[in-house]
Amino acid sequence: MHERYGPPIRTLELVRSKFIQVLEVNALKQTFYADVFFEFKIRGGAHDEDLMREGDGPPTQNFPPDTLRPSARWYLGQIEFSNCVVSHLHKDTTVVTRGDDIHLRYRSIGEFSEQLELEDFPFDTQELTVKLIVHCMIGGFVGIEFVPPEYSDEHVGAHGLRSVPRSGYDAMAVVSAPALRIPRDRFKVDSFHLGNVWDMSADVTGTIGVHAGEFPELRMTALVRRKPQFYLWNVVVTMVLLQAMSFAAYALDATDIEGLSGRISLTVTLVLACGIYRSANAQFSPPVATLTLLDEYVLLAATIIGFQVVTHALASVDECKWLEPWFIGAHVVFVVAQHGYSFIYRKHGAMEVAQELGFVSKAEPGESDGQASDWRRCWGTGQRRRFSVSAATHVLNVVRVFSVEQGKYVEVRATAVERDEQEKSTCQFVS
């Protein structure tokens, strides 16, 4: 017997999830290519004749017109990725009965969209996130929800089967609740084929939340940090050599017309060499609208060399000849400041971003790893560049939920609940 406005809310309990393979990170298309796997179980589902009506096997779209209670295979067919560009279901996507439980195995090979933040390139750290959703509206007629491993509450019945009756289901609380972090041991990476280009963190994380205010969502995120050695050897070393060559111009006599011509000719040639070399290496740099750290470095190098044209012209005037040692000193200071800015200040900022994302441990002396990682619970908010302490958080949005009283979907303005005292003392990411 089902209730007035649909069957009970079903529960998909996460068993494990992993990146089986991470094959490509494409900065041009802002995507990454991966083979991902999720496994859920419905505890005690083997004793529910509605869930078992189609038995084991691949996903199906058969919706029963008699009981209006779909099978586990039907629920598996409603799962997909919200940030997937192209995907192909693997044959491992199937429903399997194991003892009292029903296991839903979902595996897909595809290309996933990811907004890569490349301001710190080539010292950047990226989040590779897959977003799994179920096309069953929260509180809807065939509602479903994700829960963490070993989840238990008052709605767990015989054989461990958890099904929430509609009279006891608060859809607004589900929509308004903050994202729930899942224990790290439920996520992992089997193989990473980009080890010569990226470093991958062993800390793969995940959260359970709400997608578009309507659908249950499970996120899994892996962190990767680029290996900069290629760009250091092929760009930075060359720029250092060109800047060192620019000092050779001071060996020529600026008061002589031929010496002045030689100085300016050498300087302009080096500036053109910087531009040509930058164009030749553009194919290895990400095509983004903002300046990357590497772009800034090359442009500063060309600007410092180009500024010498003015100093050489001034040094050719008898009244300014005495300023030439000062010009050389200023040139040295500019070069040192340029490298300090690029490889100390900006690189330090890139390391802070890696720490904020959890790629590098942030524990201070005397601080435990658990204390150092408390703030990482906020990673799933989608904004990561800065963080600050917040006393309370309110999220206001309009969502559609299924009303038991009215028997239809209604729009409700949802306000997020206040965090507990521990959450109040942690971070909230802001842009």
Does residue 134 share a domain with residue 88? Answer: yes
Q: Where a domain ends, among 357, 392, 418? A: 357
48 within a domain of the structure (yes/no): yes
5 within a domain of the structure (yes/no): no
Does residue 199 share a domain with residue 262? Answer: no
- Domain of 324 in residue numbering reads as 229-357
> What is the structure's pLDDT at 396?
45
The highest-confidence range among 4-13, 70-79, 256-265, 303-312, by mean pLDDT, is 70-79
pLDDT digits (tens, 9 = 90+) for 389-402: 233 333 445 666 66
State how far Cα 146 lies from the chain centre: 21
Q: Is the peptide bond between 59 and the residue preceding it cis, with omega within 30 degrees of 0?
A: no
379 within a domain of the structure (yes/no): no
Region 343-354: mean pLDDT is: 87
71 contact partners, CB below 8 Å, separation of at least 6: 50, 51, 52, 53, 54, 60, 62, 64
Q: Where a domain ends, among 175, 198, 227? A: 227
pLDDT digits (tens, 9 = 90+) for 203-223: 899 999 999 889 999 999 999
pTM exceeding 0.85: no
Question: Which of 136-145, 222-231, 379-388, 398-407 is predicted with the least confidence, judged by mean pLDDT?
Answer: 379-388
pLDDT over 60 at 429, yes or no: no
> What is the structure's pLDDT at 376?
35
> What is the structure's pLDDT at 25?
93
Does residue 328 share a domain with residue 182? Answer: no
> What is the structure's pLDDT at 289?
78
404 within a domain of the structure (yes/no): no
Does residue 173 share a domain with residue 281? Answer: no
b/e map 129-150, b = 16+ CB within 10 Å: bbbbbbbbbbbbebbbbbbbee
The highest-confidence range among 186-195, 311-320, 373-382, by mean pLDDT, is 186-195
Does residue 255 share a domain with residue 195? Answer: no
Token pair of 1 as six digits: 């017997």
Percentage of residues in the chain having pLDDT higher than 90: 42
> What is the structure's pLDDT at 17?
95
Question: What's the CATH code of the domain at 341?
Answer: 1.20.58.390
pLDDT digits (tens, 9 = 90+) for 144-203: 999 999 888 887 877 778 778 877 778 888 888 888 999 888 899 999 989 999 999 888
* Number of Cα atoms under 13 Å in the Cβ half of residue 54: 20
Does residue 295 share a domain with residue 187? Answer: no
pLDDT digits (tens, 9 = 90+) for 408-422: 666 666 544 433 433
What's the chain's average pLDDT?
81
pLDDT over 80 at 423, yes or no: no
Burial of 394 (0-12, 13-18, 19+ CB in 10 A): exposed
- Residue with the larger pLDDT of the pair 57 and 2: 57
363 within a domain of the structure (yes/no): no
Region 265-294: mean pLDDT is: 84
- Residue with the larger pLDDT of the pair 319 and 32: 32
Does residue 207 share a domain with residue 185? Answer: yes
Q: How many domains does the chain have?
A: 2
> What is the structure's pLDDT at 35?
97
391 within a domain of the structure (yes/no): no
Backbone angles phi, psi at 349, to 5 degrees: -65, -40
Does residue 208 share a domain with residue 80? Answer: yes
Confidence of residue 100 (pLDDT cuts 50, 70, 90): very high
Region 291-305: mean pLDDT is: 90
pLDDT over 80 at 375, yes or no: no
Confidence of residue 314 (pLDDT cuts 50, 70, 90): confident
Does residue 251 share a domain with residue 202? Answer: no
The Cα-based distances of 228 to 179, 196, 225, 346, 356 in angstroms read: 34, 10, 9, 14, 20
420 within a domain of the structure (yes/no): no
> What is the structure's pLDDT at 107?
97
pLDDT over 60 at 424, yes or no: no
> What is the structure's pLDDT at 409?
65
Does residue 108 share a domain with residue 76? Answer: yes
372 within a domain of the structure (yes/no): no
Cα–Cα distance for residue pair 50/42, rounded to 1 Å: 12
Does residue 259 share a domain with residue 352? Answer: yes
Confidence of residue 358 (pLDDT cuts 50, 70, 90): confident
Question: What's the CATH code of the domain at 125?
Answer: 2.70.170.10
Does residue 162 share a domain with residue 39? Answer: yes
Q: Where a domain ends, among 227, 248, 264? A: 227
